[in-house]
Structure 1
């Protein structure tokens, strides 16, 4: 058996359009059309709270596999910004890995899903320490080995940053796979504002404002933002969040704080794969092509797929399911690497 690669993804027209792929990836249409098998990870899922350290609590869901006498390992999944453990792509990937005999842990970042009332301070993208602490808690409580981690978009960025540190803090992570991760946040923010069609920024801003309103409702005694700040566009509201709710003195220093651009990934100690698409309208491919990577980090740039789409046809299933499953399974099975 050989591994699939991005070059193998050749969807039919009109799914060769990056905008269509991106819009379908998290659309309600896709959720309705997905086969029932893409939601089996919900069956028997145990909602849990994990320790993020320093009193921080993060929510998640654990599903034990039932197809093998012993699990292949533990698969941990990270959603994207303003997604959740119940995002379509997370359910679909989790269900695919579950069928292959992996135990599944789906983690919510702070203030994602229904977790706004758990921690008073706001989520921001530099809160990597609590995610790493949570991974340590997960590894102790569900000791299936190996542990493999997959993340999507911002979740892919978190996954790569966590993988850079898990060996240092003693978390036995064996492999990480990032789908369309944010590489250079400054460039990504500029892309959403200046080059991507207006409806992408509108989509993310609508979801972010809704999340902030849920946070305010959970902690009415705390004023998180002025109304004038909430009415700003992406850059303005992000800068207000940075100055109000982080220790970073400027927006640029905050964006640099979760960048994995340039040579940042040269320190990666475990095998890793980055999958992205050349037609991703949200995260420019240039950032990936500029990466300096060690031999154990695989960069795979497909021609098609949009942002976290990779939708194969009108059944709305994703190429990434087989892609992730094949590489996770390769940790425990004999697989012939080909290019």
Structure 2
């Protein structure tokens, strides 16, 4: 019955989910000295990978959330924490998120696990890692869980498991939750950068010509999926995309052990994003739902040095997956 209890205690004002979410977003950690490697993909594009190496046989693959990058605060803090313990770390910059636009019309989406599989195979073909663990945040967590389920019958032996944090495992209901008034500021920020990327693609690719008025008026994820994700990636509709990209259907058939940490007060998540019943009936799917934490926050106090989130990652790697640096 892998529902794990959490011992997260936090103080005012971090019991407010928005304070927790926003503070973590702006709370800067020491920036590690990444070693960037650009890998060319099968479709004439590229993915930028940022490495922190410690000559370990174990590597943790960190995957950021929507419109994040290797420079996102949660990526920096987790990468530093793992590296200081002796693990090798690679921070994935999803297509178009490394500070340079990618080469093709397609960028990334919440269910694009072929990129994850390609990155894993690159690590195996070019390094001597015995253990590979995936750790994804928000959208990156959905990719992590979907990959472990979708590729369950073909996962390399070196892939030992994964951790997913603050994940909208049910995209249909989560996008509706994000569209509510309480999340208006977050939605505006997401769509600000997404709209600018779509506009850039229209200038780069003449065959992609959505109505500029629709781009300017896009105020919900459904608007964006209808303008870009669905037509560009071949989905029938936004609803078709949400259904096919969600990791929730894969949670009962994960090929490796995986932990999902979703705070109960995460304003981004719907009730359907807390799959207790699946965890209760699974040998591989572990679930932890602390009362507080916000969205990829889990801050306990000002100048937070508890590293609660990062410790959960390491505890699962060491105590459940039995992997050490």
TM-score by length of 1: 0.85
For residue 94 of structure 1, report the CA deviation from its aligned partner: 0.5
1:271 aligns with 2:260: no
Structure 1 distance, partners of 2:171, 2:154, is: 26
Task: Give the 3-state SS of the residue equivalent to 1:149 in structure 2.
Answer: strand
In structure 2, list runs of 5 or more residues that go unmatched: none
Equivalenced residues, count: 314
For residue 291 of structure 1, report the CA deviation from its aligned partner: 5.2
Task: Give the 3-state SS of the residue equivalent to 1:151 in structure 2.
Answer: strand
Asked if 1 retains the 8 angstrom alpha-carbon contact of 2:169 and 2:246, the reply is yes
* Structure 1 stretches of 4+ moved >6 Å: none
TM-score by length of 2: 0.88
1:237 aligns with 2:224: yes
Asked if 1 retains the 8 angstrom alpha-carbon contact of 2:6 and 2:290, the reply is yes
Equivalent in 40, 47, 50 of residue 39 of structure 2: 50
Structure 1 distance, partners of 2:230, 2:302, is: 45
Match of 1:204 in 2: 190
Structure 2 distance, partners of 1:208, 1:290, is: 33
RMSD over equivalenced CA pairs, Å:
2.2
Query: Which stretch shifts more, 122-131 or 151-160?
Result: 122-131
Asked if 1 retains the 8 angstrom alpha-carbon contact of 2:136 and 2:143, the reply is yes
Classify 1:146/1:168 alpha carbon distance in 2 versus 1 (closer, same or farther; 3 Å): same
Task: Give the 3-state SS of the residue equivalent to 1:95 in structure 2.
Answer: helix
Equivalent in 75, 89, 98 of residue 104 of structure 1: 89
Asked if 1 retains the 8 angstrom alpha-carbon contact of 2:168 and 2:268, the reply is no
1:181 aligns with 2:180: no
Asked if 1 retains the 8 angstrom alpha-carbon contact of 2:230 and 2:241, the reply is no
Offset from partner CA, 1:23-42 (integer Å, 9 cap, x none): 12212xx12xx4x3xx3xx2
Match of 1:22 in 2: 21
Structure 1 distance, partners of 2:238, 2:87, is: 40
For residue 216 of structure 1, report the CA deviation from its aligned partner: 4.9
Offset from partner CA, 1:135-172 (integer Å, 9 cap, x none): 21123222222111100000000011111244533432
Asked if 1 retains the 8 angstrom alpha-carbon contact of 2:173 and 2:272, the reply is no
Structure 1 distance, partners of 2:11, 2:278, is: 33
Classify 1:215/1:315 alpha carbon distance in 2 versus 1 (closer, same or farther; 3 Å): farther
Equivalent in 150, 159, 179 of residue 135 of structure 2: 150
Match of 1:337 in 2: none
Match of 2:6 in 1: 7
